[in-house]
Amino acid sequence: MSAMDFDEENNHEMTPLVQALCQQIGRVSFHMPGHRQGIGFPYLFSPGLACLDTTELGGTGDLAAPSGHVLEAYRLAAQFFGAKESWIITSGTTASIFIMMAGPLREGDQIIIPRAVHMAAVHAVAVLGLIPIFVDSEEDKTFPDGQPNTQSFIETIERYPSARACFVTRPDYYGRTIDLAPIAQAAHRLGMTLLVDEAHGAHFAAAPDLLPATALAQGADITCQSAHKTLPALTPASFLHISRAAIDNHRIDHERVSQMVKIFQTSSPSFLIAATADAARSMVACEGHDRIKYLIRQNADLCEKLPDHYRRVLPTDADPTRLVLDYSATGLDRLHFLSVLDSAGIDAELVDSNRVVFLPALDQSEEDYRRLSETLRAIKPETDQRRLTQHQDKLDSLTAQRDKLLSAPAGFELTVRQSLFGRRDFVQHAGKNIATQTIAPYPPGMPIVWPGEIISDEHRIYMNMLEAEGIAQRGVPLSF
Ligand SMILES: Cc1ncc(COP(=O)(O)O)c(C=O)c1O
């Protein structure tokens, strides 16, 4: 390193994060957060960000011990989302997932859970010392993106009646949903609680006639939603909801949830973030239906005008406000496709090897849609048939491998807790190929290897394939 490099590195006038954020100004956001740089509620920011950042005062209240106007905000949220009780959690759905699991479960309890859940759920399992029972696919069958169907959940519940809870992600990152009602029935019959990670579905309650039913409406006991993903709240605002039936039937205890909020949430929750969750609830309750209708129409109009080398991915019961396009027939590889969007100043939520996920905000402008449409239509597809076939073969192989690994049965050598938090000598003794972190492409953060599982050659080959696609991964061992 030269002296000049060193000086550059220690120049404290530099504010790299501020600069990086400023460079985002003017780009077209088709990703989280849903408030799009505060456009969603300019009135809230007019007094200045710093003035709104405060601690628990008589005038603000305590988010972890709600009374007065905090309780009123929680009551309004519960009323709108169809819960008996709602909380605003200002450290993300990540924290809400910890609270959601800790509410009904105790150390050593079994939880029925798919392999492909957000990393936060894996880490909650570890911290709480739970025993994961993976939802199996029928022999040799795999789940798309590792997301089991309703029947597979029910079969696993019936095979493991001693489990205490069942955990479902609904909708998934691509907006797909499954029918929860029969899962809720099967779980409740055996005294299990149904926990739903509804991080991507906070807007569902606003338009029951246009969108999939909410998890609470389908019998979930406790759910959590990221208010910053599909609603216009600041990152990382989250809602935690408990159903009326769960409280009435003693599947969830209010006092215990309240205790867990105080354990897993910072003791200085951000009122600014909470206020935006409150504002987002108000906005979506008052105007959400119209805006959702508008988004559905914009998405449909855009797709209608797209050439045939784009295919909209919208299976039955998926969320039509999410715009998922399969771009594999363009023949463009992922990095090339990303660079085209980037040059046009457009940021998608997720681009995998064959699909792009655009996450339009409730107030996404017609001008943004026009720019997106023009950019997509300007892409020249590959015409060489041989190269197209080669490209498609590569994608088929990636997809098959992804679904196989994300649907694989568990192969634990150590418990999730031991491998993450156990004594170093104990973990080393167990073997060098055992994962000591969650290994997952990010986003969406669904693990191909849970901590405590063996990293096989098949995993290594797949990780290499992802690397070649330029897909970021979390938890890949340094020695890899
Ligand atoms: C399905 C799912 N669950 C949970 C989370 C964590 O949410 P948060 O970022 O609000 O902590 C995410 C984040 O992307 C997610 O996609």
* 399: pLDDT strictly greater than 90: yes
As a whole number of angstroms, the distance between CA 393 and CA 390 comes to 5
d(CA 14, ligand 1 centre) in Å: 31
- Smallest CA-to-CA distance from 225 within 150, 149, 277, 164 is with 277
Q: What is the pLDDT of residues 373-385, one digit of tens each?
A: 999 999 999 999 9
* 331: pLDDT strictly greater than 50: yes
Amino acid found at 259: Q
Ligand 1, atom 7: nearest CA belongs to which residue?
93
Is 118 among the domain residues?
Answer: yes
Pocket probe mutation, ligand 1, options 113, 118, 235, max atoms within 8 Å of Cβ: 118
pLDDT of the residue at 88: 96
Quote the tokens at residue 254.
């209010």
Q: Which residue has the higher pLDDT, 43 or 107?
A: 107
Cβ of 412 closer than 6 Å to ligand 1, yes or no, is: no
Cβ of 226 closer than 6 Å to ligand 1, yes or no, is: yes
pLDDT of the residue at 7: 62
Strands ordered across the beta sheet of 350-351: 311-312, 323-326, 355-358, 350-351
Is 88 among the domain residues?
Answer: yes
- What is the average per-residue pLDDT within 175-187? 98
As a whole number of angstroms, the distance between CA 353 and CA 333 comes to 7
pLDDT of the residue at 18: 75
Percent of the chain with pLDDT over 70: 97
pTM to 2 decimals? 0.94
| 196: containing domain | 50-281
Cβ of 116 closer than 6 Å to ligand 1, yes or no, is: no
- What is the average per-residue pLDDT within 267-287? 91
Pick the atom of ligand 1 nearest to 32's CA: 14
Residue 309's Cβ-side half-sphere holds a number of Cα atoms within 13 Å equal to 17
Q: What is the pLDDT of residues 46-78, one digit of tens each?
A: 667 777 788 778 878 899 999 988 999 999 999
The answer to whether residues 326 and 310 touch, using CB atoms and an 8 Å cutoff, is yes
DSSP class of residue 477 equals -
pLDDT of the residue at 432: 80
Is 371 among the domain residues?
Answer: no
Cβ of 178 closer than 6 Å to ligand 1, yes or no, is: no
d(CA 443, ligand 1 centre) in Å: 10
Pocket probe mutation, ligand 1, options 90, 93, 238, max atoms within 8 Å of Cβ: 93
> In the chain, what is the straight-line distance between the N-terminal and C-terminal CA atoms, in Å?
26
pLDDT of the residue at 53: 82
d(CA 393, ligand 1 centre) in Å: 32
pLDDT of the residue at 1: 47
- What is the average per-residue pLDDT within 155-180? 98
Cβ of 173 closer than 6 Å to ligand 1, yes or no, is: yes
Pick the atom of ligand 1 nearest to 238's CA: 10
d(CA 205, ligand 1 centre) in Å: 19
Cβ of 118 closer than 6 Å to ligand 1, yes or no, is: yes
Residue listed under structure tokens 């973990």 = 427
Q: What is the pLDDT of residues 408-464, one digit of tens each?
A: 999 999 999 999 999 988 888 888 899 999 999 998 999 999 999 999 999 999 999
Pick the atom of ligand 1 nearest to 91's CA: 11
Cβ of 288 closer than 6 Å to ligand 1, yes or no, is: no
Q: Which domain CATH number covers 270?
A: 3.40.640.10
Is 420 among the domain residues?
Answer: no
Cβ of 92 closer than 6 Å to ligand 1, yes or no, is: yes
Cβ of 177 closer than 6 Å to ligand 1, yes or no, is: no
Is 270 among the domain residues?
Answer: yes
- Tell me the average pLDDT of the chain: 93
d(CA 356, ligand 1 centre) in Å: 18
d(CA 451, ligand 1 centre) in Å: 19
Q: Where in 301-433 does DSSP place strands (E)?
A: 311-312, 323-326, 346-348, 350-351, 355-358
* 6: pLDDT strictly greater than 70: no
Quote the tokens at residue 368.
């943004």
Q: What is the pLDDT of residues 278-302, one digit of tens each?
A: 999 999 999 999 999 999 999 999 9
Number of folded domains in the chain? 1
Pocket probe mutation, ligand 1, options 94, 100, 235, 264, max atoms within 8 Å of Cβ: 94
Is 383 among the domain residues?
Answer: no
As a whole number of angstroms, the distance between CA 251 and CA 437 comes to 32
DSSP class of residue 380 equals P
* 137: pLDDT strictly greater than 90: no
pLDDT of the residue at 8: 67
Cβ of 176 closer than 6 Å to ligand 1, yes or no, is: no
Is 435 among the domain residues?
Answer: no
Quote the tokens at residue 205.
């309650």
As a whole number of angstroms, the distance between CA 202 and CA 80 comes to 11
> Which of the four pLDDT bands, split at 50, 70 and 90, describes residue 392?
very high
Is 63 among the domain residues?
Answer: yes
Pick the atom of ligand 1 nearest to 95's CA: 11
Cβ of 188 closer than 6 Å to ligand 1, yes or no, is: no
Residue 384 CB neighbour total at 10 angstroms:
10
* 3: pLDDT strictly greater than 80: no
- What is the average per-residue pLDDT within 107-132? 98
Cβ of 174 closer than 6 Å to ligand 1, yes or no, is: no
